[in-house]
Amino acid sequence: MSFESFHSITLGELLTAQAQRYADKNFLVLGDQRWTYANAEKQAAALASGLRALGLNQGDRLAIILPNIPQFVITVFAAAKAGLIVNPINVRRHKSEVAARLDKTRPSAIVTNAEHLEMINELRGDFPELKQVISVDGGANAKAFNDLLASTAALPPTAIKPDDVAAVLYTLGNSGEPRGAMLTHKSLIGNGAGIASTLNATPEDIFLGAVPFSNAFGLTPTILACTVAGASLAPLPTYHAAEALALIEKQKVTVHHGVPTMFALELNHPNFKSEACATLRVGIMSGAACPTELVTRVRQLMHCNLILAYGLTEAAPSVTMTHLQDGPITASQTVGRAMEGVSLKVIDENGDTLPEGKEGELCVKGYNVMTGYWNDSQATAQVLDKDGWLRTGDLATIDADGPVKIVGRKGDVINRGGYKIYPGTVEMVLRSYPGVKEAAVVGVPDAIYGELPCACVVRSAGANFSGEQLMLFATERLTDYAVPDRVVFFERLPRSGSGAIRRSALRERVRIRGHAWKFGKNIDTDAIIPARHCNTSDARELATHCMEDADPNFIKKMKRGDVIVAETNFGCGSSREVAPISIKTAGVSAVIAKSFARIFFRNSINIGLPILECPQAVDGITEGDEIEVEPATGTIRNLTRGETYRAEPFPDFLQRIIDRGGLLAYVEERLAERN
């Protein structure tokens, strides 16, 4: 089925067209509530008028902080009709992250719910252009969403073209700062239509809204592909595996998209019943590496013919997809072929195009590629060239007949004495070994090879294979240089909030190499700072001063991988965490301390900086010695002196805090348990 007729319209026009075609058909279903296409169109039109009547003008940004509820969908279409640009923000973002995103696009209004009003009201002072706050369920200092739905004002003349920007979706730059990818009506609808076509979607389909609507995967393949098909959408306000399974059964869901973790959680849930998923027909698994075993289980047990896809926010998002008719290899081990209207190439470090089958950085061009990052020409120029090619930062190969394999991120490539090793390739082999639950391959420093691949593996419950057995298995299946040098077993792998493996954290859990810096008894970071610079709330500014006071050239001399060998009185007070923050800011990767000493020690743990307790190492190391530290095993090697020391292993409790990247994530877990 083709949806080409939708390629040259706006989002507002899309809903209008579908409301004419499928007027009484259910579009949105939440609990016992139903929105037909005609209802949704009527509400979106009224909301558009209402928003403009509040003083919003064409081109203004409209932020959305809502869970997956029908009002989110109505707002997206209303904004389009009113000529506003939507900026969805994930409901899980905390205040400082929300502020960073608002700061980027400076929206004039925000649609949210009562739960977030307090935070938004606190932020309003910093964003004078944020004139209107609209809440879907009441609350102080907010306009009522339902009042706007009753608007009878006429929509002012609005000239919107398919090439106009419809949404700015936030994505993260290399250093973790948000960037706003500008996506046009055309790119979004075109991509949604392409996806609907690949899914063979029809008005009979019922989509599950499991992926957050605030990201590209939730917006295009879910909301827009569903709308283009004239199908129904059953949103799940907050994702829980049990609720997803219940909704699939209750609403007779046919299309289920998700990240691999969602499918794994559902399959492993005690409520899972294969027969309750009998209505499932198809779905997209994307957003992270898709383990073959999981794909197979979903196809068999959930009756869901998974489509694997590759995409990124900057491409609206889908770039490649497998097809329902693909053979088993393509369908399980690749991310499929380029979508219609999308061109691909793979380039080397010099930007030259590589031949088929060669590994390099994947580049994308087509109607779906963003027009740039909002108000950030510098960041745009880094990824988008004048011919319209978008550099994805992902490493891939393209086979002769088109299927694409993603082998890793550019920064993750391991260079073993000149041989490039792509972690994705190695990880796929490791994951196929029975009993491997998770595997990540990272490069660790090595004196001879520069870097060596190390496999970080989580065993399934009950599995008890050794590292040697796994390496033997890998040796039979991989080029010799790509076989991991060693295997380190983990209870779990450190992951970021979005679920991606934190490779840099993992790398530093495995092996850190650098030079030792010794700090003496006389350095009281808590005290020296106040004397001159203390009255600032910026901990990082304090950190800079702190180290300058300790040693004027400290920060300049410090290199990533270096370790601090802390004499016992180091950072005696430091209740403001100046010492550990400064050490982390300066790039130090670990601290070796004499004992579980003072506030400094707990502060280091609380901010996720590994600290090893080893008096022998402190005594045995002289400043400038080359040191290798393996936090995961507690091994400390003094390469200059040829000595090895054993640190006290961390108790599980502290390791949990470090693995989560600090105390705050642990607190959130505890709070969630209490609720």
Partner 1 sequence: MGMTLAEKILADHCGQTEVHAGQFINARVDIVMASELSGIVAIEEFEKIKNARVWDPKKVVFVMDHFTPAKDIKSAEIVKRCREFARVHGITFFEVGRAGIQHILLPEKGMVSPGDIIAGADSHTCTHGFLSAFGTGIGSTDAAAAMALGEIWLKVPESMKFIYHGKPPKWVGGKDLILETVRKIGVDGARYQAMEFVGDALDHLGLSDRFSMANMAIEAGAKTGLFEADEKTRAFCKKAGAREGKYHRSDPDAVFSEVHEFDVEKFEPFVAMPFLPENVKPVSEISGLEIDQVVIGMCTNGNIEDLRAAAEIFKGHKTHPRVRTVIIPGSQKVYLDALHEGLIDIFIEADCSVSTPTCGPCLGGHMGVLASGERCVSTSNRNFKGRMGHATSELYLTNPYVAAASAIMGHLASPSEVIKQ
From 24-32, 352-360, 470-478, 655-663, give the range in contact with partner 1 by CB under 8 A. Answer: 655-663
Choice between 608 and 631, CB closer to partner 1: 608
- 123 CB-near residues (< 8 Å, 6+ apart): 95, 98, 99, 102, 130
Q: How far apart are CB 666 and partner 1 at their closest, in Å?
A: 8
Which value, to the nearest 10 degrees, does the dihedral of the CA atoms of residues 218, 221, 227, 229 take?
-160
Choice between 513 and 576, CB closer to partner 1: 576
* Run of H or E residues at 67: none
Written as six digits, the tokens of 354 are 């590589």
Instruction: Name residues contacting partner 1, limited to 602-631 (CB under 8 A).
Output: 602-603, 606-607
Q: What one-character DSSP code corresponds to residue 242?
A: H
Contact status: 599 vs partner 1 (CB under 8 A): yes
Among 249, 288, 654, 660, which residue sits at the site for partner 1 (rule: CB under 8 A)? Answer: 654
Contact status: 653 vs partner 1 (CB under 8 A): yes
Q: How far apart are CB 532 and partner 1 at their closest, in Å?
A: 7
User: Is the CB of residue 81 less than 8 Å from the CB of residue 62?
Assistant: no
Choice between 60 and 577, CB closer to partner 1: 577
Contact status: 540 vs partner 1 (CB under 8 A): no
Q: How far apart are CB 650 and partner 1 at their closest, in Å?
A: 11
Residue 160 has a CB neighbour count (10 Å cut-off) of 20
How deeply is 458 buried, as exposed, middle or buried, from its count of CB atoms within 10 A (0-12, 13-18, 19+)?
Answer: middle
Written as six digits, the tokens of 134 are 């609209």
426 beta partners: none
Among 168, 440, 591, 597, which residue sits at the site for partner 1 (rule: CB under 8 A)? Answer: 597
Q: What one-character DSSP code corresponds to residue 435?
A: T
What span, in angstroms and rounded, lies between the C-alpha atoms of 461 and 475? 25
Residue 325 has a CB neighbour count (10 Å cut-off) of 7
What span, in angstroms and rounded, lies between the C-alpha atoms of 540 and 536? 10
Written as six digits, the tokens of 51 are 């928003």
Among 575, 587, 641, 648, which residue sits at the site for partner 1 (rule: CB under 8 A)? Answer: 575
Contact status: 671 vs partner 1 (CB under 8 A): yes
Look at residue 171 and give its three-state secondary structure.
strand
Choice between 435 and 615, CB closer to partner 1: 615
Q: How far apart are CB 356 and partner 1 at their closest, in Å?
A: 46
From 353-361, 365-373, 558-566, 598-606, give the range in contact with partner 1 by CB under 8 A. Answer: 598-606
What span, in angstroms and rounded, lies between the C-alpha atoms of 46 and 74? 10
What span, in angstroms and rounded, lies between the C-alpha atoms of 577 and 361? 40
Contact status: 378 vs partner 1 (CB under 8 A): no
User: Is the CB of residue 349 less than 8 Å from the CB of residue 157?
Assistant: no
Q: How far apart are CB 529 and partner 1 at their closest, in Å?
A: 9
What span, in angstroms and rounded, lies between the C-alpha atoms of 63 and 130? 10
Contact status: 113 vs partner 1 (CB under 8 A): no
Among 24, 32, 96, 418, which residue sits at the site for partner 1 (rule: CB under 8 A)? Answer: 96
Choice between 96 and 175, CB closer to partner 1: 96
Among 549, 562, 630, 659, which residue sits at the site for partner 1 (rule: CB under 8 A)? Answer: 549
Contact status: 402 vs partner 1 (CB under 8 A): no
Among 252, 521, 556, 560, which residue sits at the site for partner 1 (rule: CB under 8 A)? Answer: 521
Q: How far apart are CB 240 and partner 1 at their closest, in Å?
A: 16
Q: How far apart are CB 620 and partner 1 at their closest, in Å?
A: 18
Contact status: 572 vs partner 1 (CB under 8 A): yes
Contact status: 128 vs partner 1 (CB under 8 A): no
Contact status: 329 vs partner 1 (CB under 8 A): no
Q: How far apart are CB 530 and partner 1 at their closest, in Å?
A: 4
Among 164, 526, 548, 562, which residue sits at the site for partner 1 (rule: CB under 8 A)? Answer: 526
Contact status: 670 vs partner 1 (CB under 8 A): yes
Instruction: Name residues contacting partner 1, limited to 577-596 (CB under 8 A).
Output: 577, 594-596
- 331 CB-near residues (< 8 Å, 6+ apart): 295, 306, 308, 322
Contact status: 32 vs partner 1 (CB under 8 A): no
Q: How far apart are CB 8 and partner 1 at their closest, in Å?
A: 42
Contact status: 544 vs partner 1 (CB under 8 A): no
Write b or e for each residue in 50-59: b if 16 or more Cβ atoms lie within 10 A of its Cβ, otherwise e: bbbbbebeee
User: Is the CB of residue 114 less than 8 Å from the CB of residue 122?
Assistant: no
Contact status: 662 vs partner 1 (CB under 8 A): yes
Question: HEC string of 522-540?
Answer: CCCHHHHHHHHCCCCCCHH
Q: What are phi and psi of 488, to 5 degrees?
A: -115, 130
Among 20, 57, 536, 622, which residue sits at the site for partner 1 (rule: CB under 8 A)? Answer: 536
Contact status: 663 vs partner 1 (CB under 8 A): yes
Rg of the chain, C-alpha, whole Å: 27
Contact status: 502 vs partner 1 (CB under 8 A): no
Among 243, 376, 524, 643, which residue sits at the site for partner 1 (rule: CB under 8 A)? Answer: 524
What span, in angstroms and rounded, lies between the C-alpha atoms of 444 and 415? 10
Place of tokens 């029975």: 434
Looking only at the bridges linking them, the beta strands covering 318-321 and 337-338 are: antiparallel
Among 92, 161, 252, 559, which residue sits at the site for partner 1 (rule: CB under 8 A)? Answer: 92
Among 532, 556, 560, 646, which residue sits at the site for partner 1 (rule: CB under 8 A)? Answer: 532
Among 325, 350, 464, 535, which residue sits at the site for partner 1 (rule: CB under 8 A)? Answer: 535
Distance set, CA 541 to CA 90, 522, 559, 578, 582 (Å): 30, 22, 19, 9, 9
Contact status: 569 vs partner 1 (CB under 8 A): yes
Contact status: 132 vs partner 1 (CB under 8 A): no
Contact status: 214 vs partner 1 (CB under 8 A): no
What span, in angstroms and rounded, lies between the C-alpha atoms of 635 and 644? 7
Q: What are phi and psi of 237, to 5 degrees?
A: -55, -45
User: Is the CB of residue 358 less than 8 Å from the CB of residue 395?
Assistant: no
* Angle 424-443-640 from CA coordinates, rounded to 5°: 170
Choice between 488 and 550, CB closer to partner 1: 550
Contact status: 95 vs partner 1 (CB under 8 A): yes
Binding site for partner 1 (CB under 8 A): 92, 94-96, 122, 521-524, 526-528, 530-532, 534-537, 539, 549, 568-569, 572-577, 594-599, 602-603, 606-607, 651, 653-654, 657, 662-664, 666-668, 670-671
